[in-house]
Amino acid sequence: MLTITTPALLFPAISLIMLAYTNRFLALASLVRSLHAKFEENKESGILQGQIKNLRYRLRLIKNITTKRINLKTGNKLT
């Protein structure tokens, strides 16, 4: 049963979760930018291509986890 205090307890938790994932996303975005600059210098580097592919996968995971966490916290079971 939801009481009037339930939203007051949920909203700070959502903010902290979003902050944690935002920090991860910003760190990875910075890494992607530096890898892109290196890749522009040497386009034939297979190692850089593998690292960029791995980072794309990690960013997709963070996005999906964040969405699912928010939906669980707010009670939305659509995704």
* CA–CA dist 8, 4 (Å, integer): 8
Output the pTM of the full model.
0.54
Q: What is the mean pLDDT of residues 21-48?
A: 82
The band of 39, judged by pLDDT with boundaries at 50, 70 and 90, is confident
* CA–CA dist 8, 3 (Å, integer): 10
- pLDDT surpasses 70 at 72: yes
Q: Assess contact for 59 and 25: CB atoms under 8 A.
A: yes
Per-domain residue ranges of the chain: 27-73
Distances in Å between the alpha carbon of 15 and those of 4, 18, 24, 34, 75?
Answer: 19, 5, 14, 29, 16
pLDDT tens per residue, range 54-67: 888 988 887 888 78
Of the two residues 20 and 34, the one the predictor is more confident about is 34
